[in-house]
Amino acid sequence: MPAEAKVSAKVNKPAKVEARAAVPASPPLTERQEARRRRILHASAQLASRGGFDAVQMREVAESSQVALGTLYRYFPSKIHLLVATMQDQLEHMHGTLRKKPPQGATAAERVAETLMRAFRALQREPHLADAMVRALTFADRSVSPEVDQVSRQTTAIILDAMGQENPTPEQLSAVRVIEHTWHSALITWLSGRASIAQVKIDIETVCRLIDLTAPTGP
């Protein structure tokens, strides 16, 4: 259903939305399917780490992960779907690492800036992989929206954890979105050689000041 139709249904036909919400979602992956998916994502990351975007070929991913090519396409309909899912997986791993060693900044803005720079430096250590994932995210069309949304949600979760904020206000969420956009743009400019790490750090620290500006001031 087109996005516009979904919005219309949400506004004009709440009863149908409630009924639809009651329909069970797709069943979760079995243990065997999840293991297969993890092998695919690992193979994708390994190939991208060695040769970037062009090195990730679906047939090679299938061979490396020991799954049939048709099976691979059932999990990920295209290379773009696969690489965006790989980015979400990498961010999830980063999030786990960041939780084990939380940022130490005195303010929420400082903690978020520190967190994003740590994530950035992790990507810096794998420039080919970073380039492949960012290119896929840039090329993604509407068909990849679920995977792109997962990347956005994971990035938001990382930022909110650094803020120490479980119930952000609409203004804070707006600031988080601007920070996400800036971080993504900083990755692109760095990968293309148009920005140094020092400039990326300045940009991230600058945009993170929005967190303090949008913090609730009282009851």
Structure confidence by residue, pLDDT tens digits, 131-157:
999 999 999 999 999 999 999 999 999
**For residue 90, is pLDDT > 70?**
yes
Q: State the pLDDT confidence band at 218, using cuts at 50, 70 and 90.
A: low
Contact 41, 62 (CB under 8 A): no
Q: Give the separation between CA 98 and CA 214, rounded to whole angstroms.
A: 24
pLDDT digits (tens, 9 = 90+) for 52-70: 999 999 999 999 999 999 9
Task: Give the start-to-end residue ranges of the domains of the chain.
Answer: 79-213
CATH of domain 79-213: 1.10.357.10
Check residue 66 and give left, alpha or beta (phi > 0: left; psi -120 to 50: alpha): left
CA angle (126, 132, 135) in 5-degree steps: 130
pLDDT digits (tens, 9 = 90+) for 175-204: 999 999 999 999 999 999 999 999 999 999
Predicted TM-score (pTM) of this structure? 0.82
Contact 68, 32 (CB under 8 A): no
Percent of the chain clearing pLDDT 90 (strictly above): 78
Q: How large is the average pLDDT for residues 152-177? A: 94
Q: How large is the average pLDDT for residues 43-48? A: 97
Q: What is the mean pLDDT of the chain?
A: 87
All residues at 6 or more sequence positions from 164 whose CB lies less than 8 Å from its CB, including other chains: 108, 111
